[in-house]
Amino acid sequence: EAGVAQSPRYKIIEKRQSVAFWCNPISGHATLYWYQQILGQGPKLLIQFQNNGVVDDSQLPKDRFSAERLKGVDSTLKIQPAKLEDSAVYLCASSTSGGSSPLHFGNGTRLTVT
Amino acid sequence: GESVGLHLPTLSVQEGDNSIINCAYSNSASDYFIWYKQESGKGPQFIIDIRSNMDKRQGQRVTVLLNKTVKHLSLQIAATQPGDSAVYFCADPSGSARQLTFGSGTQLTVLP
């Protein structure tokens, strides 16, 4: 079984620029998550999708972050404009049935904002 | 605030010894817990999970113990190996939509 795929692996941008991350979940996984992991901390949920609908985006800074999951498969997370504090690893995860089954994570995109 | 939290940010053990990583949770209604291992430069990797109707669950070299009375769970790693060096997280679906919430992690270092 192929794992969760994410790209790019690394990204360096200047503040106020925009950036996008892509995620392809495990085939058949209906639930998709984006997490932000700041160095030294545990992952923090940004947004959760069930198929192509948003289940929870309460911790997504909507003035600058947006995410979509067209067709209920792949997903993109965008930041525009980026701030220095957005420097983090952005992790995508998927699962078969929300919070009652393990999440499978990709290796993340490491974003550095200078 | 956090629903789950780990007791120690770092733990060092000798190769071959057993490791015990502890985690406390605050929500008495939590019914499912997962342990993840995160190696440097990688995403968290599922290790083992346990549901609240169990007190103990064993995997390959790992055992999770759940004490609902004191809201505590632990991950035990037998015969710790260098490849076990990583950050370990406990997590539970404590969000309103059962979103998985992570603790702050314990860095396990295996000494030769």
B43 and A98 within 8 Å at the Cβ level: the answer is no
**CA B101 → CA A45, A58, A83, B81, distances in Å?**
8, 14, 25, 28
Q: Report the C-alpha dihedral over residues A96, A102, A107, A112, rounded to 10 degrees.
A: 100
Cα separation, A33 vs B87, whole angstroms: 21
Question: B5 at the A interface (CB within 8 A)?
Answer: no
Question: B103 at the A interface (CB within 8 A)?
Answer: yes
Among the listed residues A43, A98, A49, the one whose alpha carbon sits nearest the alpha carbon of residue B4: A43
- The pLDDT tens digits for A70-100 are 888 999 999 999 999 999 999 999 998 766 7
- The pLDDT tens digits for B20-53 are 999 998 888 888 899 999 999 999 999 999 999 9
- The pLDDT tens digits for B59-104 are 999 999 999 999 999 999 999 999 999 999 999 887 666 778 888 8
With contacts defined as CB-CB under 8 Å, which chain B residues touch A100?
32, 93, 98
Nearest chain B CA: its distance from A44 CA (Å) = 7
Cα separation, B16 vs B100, whole angstroms: 32
Among the listed residues A1, A3, A68, A81, the one whose alpha carbon sits nearest the alpha carbon of residue A34: A68
A56 and B32 within 8 Å at the Cβ level: the answer is no
- The pLDDT tens digits for A12-62 are 999 999 999 999 999 999 999 999 999 989 999 999 999 989 999 999 999
